[in-house]
Chain A
Amino acid sequence: MNASLAPPGLWADACAAAALLAVDPRGLQGVVVRARPGPVRECWLEYLDEAFGPSLPRRRVPAGVTDDRLLGGLDLPATLAAGRGVLQRGLLSEAHGGLLLLATAERASRSAIAQVCAALDTGEVILERDGLTDRHPARSTVIALDEGLDDDERVAPSLAERLAFLVDLDALSVRDLDALGPDSVTVEAAQRRLPSVTCASDHLELLCAMAVRLGIDSLRMPAFALRAARAAAALAGRAVVAEADLALAVRLVFGPRARVLEAAATEQPPPSPPESRPEESSGEEPNGDQQPLEDQVLEAIEAALPAGLLDALREGSLKARTQRAGGRGEGGQASRVRGRPAGVRAGRAERGARLDLVSTLRAAAPWQPLRRPAGVQRVYVQPEDCRITRFRQRSPTTSIFVVDASGSAALHRLAEAKGAVEMLLAECYVRRDQVALIAFRARGAELLLPPTRSLVRARRCLSALPGGGGTPLAAGLDAARELALSLARRGGRPLLVVLTDGKPNVARDGGAGRERAAADALASARALRAAGFDGLLVDTAPRPQAFSIELAAAMGVAALPLPTSGAAGLSRVVGAFAG
């Protein structure tokens, strides 16, 4: 490896963020640290530790933390021994006044994130569990360690929104690390100075205006920037915020969140292949010059699809194959604490299990005469009496729509395909499923919409989907497989809905050529089958394609031709093209 690729000043900024956080932990709330575990992150965390000083509590929250550990709950052994409810504090309240480290925060459960956010908002934990009510102060500085590799894996936006800084250390190597920030003595002096630091009114306006210009909507960000600027002034020994402090605050708080810069970049002419290959223009696209077709955004139109398709799919009546690789049990996933109660069983009352008190007491009742000394009123409960409630959690189904947005499909029936997806989305809405959207066109596939329950977003994504370019079917199927596998790993149940006209012409490596593309697509389809996902292939070609049926067979799913809609539908397709 040669010289480092990291932009200069990255490490200094990361250290500055840590120091500012230590100066005003309450106002700035915390930081998201995006970095793989390694010496760089260790070094940064050590510095953070040092800046915060030695006397504060530090708690580490593991990825799979349960609600009772996070919030606190019934301390069972102590409760049984004392004969009255004894409460155990959770990590949130134990970390009060100190640091709360969230390990692998990008994989934290939604409920864990919500709990941390609630604690950040209110500064306390309100406990309503296990028959106990309590509130504890819980104001800690949150360090969310984000080890995500790609863009899909990120800390939940609701948490990132509540923390002032986003620090990305991934570009740094050990050689880039030089001087650290100020030490804890300087930080302490700055903490004392902080309450008296003021900020001129026009500086505040400047921060607000800057946020608007960078496309940052949330009002939390200018508020954070103001506090960061003030902390920076305190660190530098100033009584009034100077421009250097503003610049640092803008860089640290707004920099990683700026959106307008990105948008401006994408507005530039896309790097579409100007080297229009002559051999392709002849028979490839029915319309000779494809320039006006490129990136055409079509509106979704109503499509004639039989209703209840996804339901049928889920029940398995559309399944083409008779056998599948691995049994997966019933639709539910056994969980220890979440979901609907589903019966009671004998078991140890260990962490995470929920005790069924009545059954426990009932189990203990017959033994009382033996256990109880004469003249004592107490109930004697022993560990073997414990009964715990079993829960069954619905494993969330995610419908992954894989949409062919290539030029050929756009010409034919992308608008109808969109309509079909919208109809299927409506079905998902009724069933409270998650949806994800992958589109493939030109050179590759793109995850347009990571799994979400928000149909508003799904619809927005879909209507903005442009059509045009080649048909990299293999890439689309591969992307779908990757997403489906990652969902399955998290206990979800993926359903694949592939909409294509079955005319692949871009191979997996991006090269042109129908035959290679078809062979790659079939190989990808077989890989899907091997993974054992349920799905459906909708053929959007005007006439059903033999290849689509072959492809569906390779995937092990049913193929369904998108029925030709009536004259009204067709005229609207034409209208969409004309407009």
Chain B
Amino acid sequence: MSVAFPFSAIVGQDEMKLALLVAAVDPGIGGVMVFGDRGTGKSTAVRALAALLPPMKAVEDCRYGCDPAATEALCAECRRRLQGGLRLRARQVPVPVVDLPLGATEDRVVGALDLERALAHGEKAYEPGLLARANRGFLYIDEVNLLEDHLVDLLLDVAASGENVVEREGLSVRHPARFVLVGSGNPEEGELRPQLLDRFGLSVEVRTPDELATRVEVIRRRDAFERDPRSFVARWEADEAQERRRILAARRRLPRLEPDQDILELAAKLCMALGTDGLRGELTLIRAARALACLEGSRRIKPEHLQRMAPAALRHRLRRNPLDESGSSVRVERALAELFGP
């Protein structure tokens, strides 16, 4: 297993890092889409997040990693055990960050007939796929715009329902599959289907840094990491631990923080000014602002939090001409300036 580049050692790219942290604090936000040029550290950041996330509690030998505390979201097997009067034993496991490689076949994504048992015993048994493994964690798709269309359809369905329903090869299985979808892609290589884009709670754009000092620092750290990964990671361990504590503290604060009336009104005004479709944008904006407030240890959600999350939460939801280039970021900025003043 190779060592991941430390999350806190990533230079710049603040919007992307913040969006990933916010999604880690509140998985309900619905994932992050990262658009950007080549070589801007998109994949690095996502893989670094995996190493950063604090471990979670999961039911022992549950194939879907069910949460013993959330009884309503258990898989069929755990529920049966619970109803049979058995106690669910829990253990600490790392949060899964599952890579969906390009070229993965449908049977591996949704799960399929267990080959070995079918061949050896002629038995029909279900072998869970990537969606099962990603349950309660992150599903990362690099180059998501190159993903085959039928896989995209399938992901949309599962991401919307939080449940994977398998009806194939004579199998009939359903299991929980709640995950945070993280995608990355380069818009120059192909467009993303609007339906899929809409599934992502936050959308961020990364650019190659254009200040020389930043660029030099990126190269320097990258080089130090490649030459001696282990000691580089050790040097950043303190920062990583601090970041981890920050996520945990924010998660504890999250359920207690309610948005004030004026924040709700402000969010509504902003969305109306931008003419976003539906309520999803507004909900995401408020949730993201709340997660940000928790991350920063604030006692209430301030307009400033709203303002900082608005571009990521709204820019991909504007009704737009598909040919309109990067106008949406500008439009969000303009509406923000009007609402909040310069």
Contact = CB atoms under 8 A, between A and B. Distances in A.
Nearest to A156: B189
Interface in A440-481: 452-457, 459-460
A365 B215 CA distance: 64
Contacts of B109: 128
Interface stretch (A50-58, A117-125, A258-266): A117-125
B2 A123 contact: yes
Interface residues of B, number: 63
A129 B116 contact: no
B102 interface: yes
A358 B113 contact: yes
A454 B322 contact: no
Contacts of A354: 105
Please provide the 8 A-B residue pairs with the shortest distance between their CB atoms, ordered closest to farther: A128-B108, A453-B190, A218-B39, A131-B115, A220-B39, A358-B169, A114-B102, A128-B104
Contact of A340 (B108, B150, B191, B208): B150
A85 B116 contact: yes
Nearest to A133: B108
A494 to B, nearest CB: 18
Given A71-B103, A223-B219, A226-B219, A218 B37 contact: yes
Nearest to B117: A84
B212 interface: yes
B142 A118 contact: yes
Contact of B212 (A79, A114, A205, A218): A205
B120 A84 contact: yes
Contacts of A426: 321-323
Contacts of A83: 119-120
B189 A454 contact: yes
Interface stretch (B56-64, B159-167, B220-228, B287-295): B220-228
10 contacts: A79-B119, A84-B116, A128-B130, A132-B115, A161-B39, A208-B212, A222-B215, A226-B223, A357-B118, A429-B322
Interface in B27-41: 37-41
Nearest to A379: B122
Contacts, number: 168
B43 interface: yes
Interface string A424-435: 011001101000
A342 B99 CA distance: 27
Contacts of B187: 454, 456
A79 B150 CA distance: 28
B69 to A, nearest CB: 29
Nearest to B129: A128
B39 A432 contact: no
A204 B323 contact: no
Nearest to A341: B106
Interface residues of A, number: 71
Contacts of A455: 191, 322-323
A126 B101 CA distance: 7
Contact of B101 (A118, A208, A227, A456): A118
Name the residue among A357, A426, A430 with the largest chain B CB count within 10 angstroms: A357
A207 B109 CA distance: 43
A350 interface: no
A381 B118 CA distance: 11
Interface string B140-162: 00110110111000000000000
B191 A454 contact: yes
Contact of A457 (B105, B149, B188, B215): B188
A453 B191 contact: yes
Interface in A13-58: 27
Contact of A223 (B113, B150, B223): B223
A124 B188 contact: no
Contacts of A161: 38-39
A422 B322 CA distance: 10
Interface string B208-219: 111010011011
A219 interface: yes
Given A84-B119, A84-B120, 17 more contacts: A85-B115, A85-B119, A121-B43, A128-B109, A161-B39, A208-B212, A217-B37, A217-B208, A219-B222, A226-B219, A354-B105, A381-B119, A452-B190, A453-B190, A454-B189, A455-B191, A456-B188
B212 A212 contact: yes
Interface in B191-239: 191, 193, 208-210, 212, 215-216, 218-220, 222-223, 226-227
B256 interface: no
B170 interface: yes
B70 to A, nearest CB: 27
Contact of A361 (B107, B118, B130, B149): B118
A427 to B, nearest CB: 10
A502 to B, nearest CB: 27
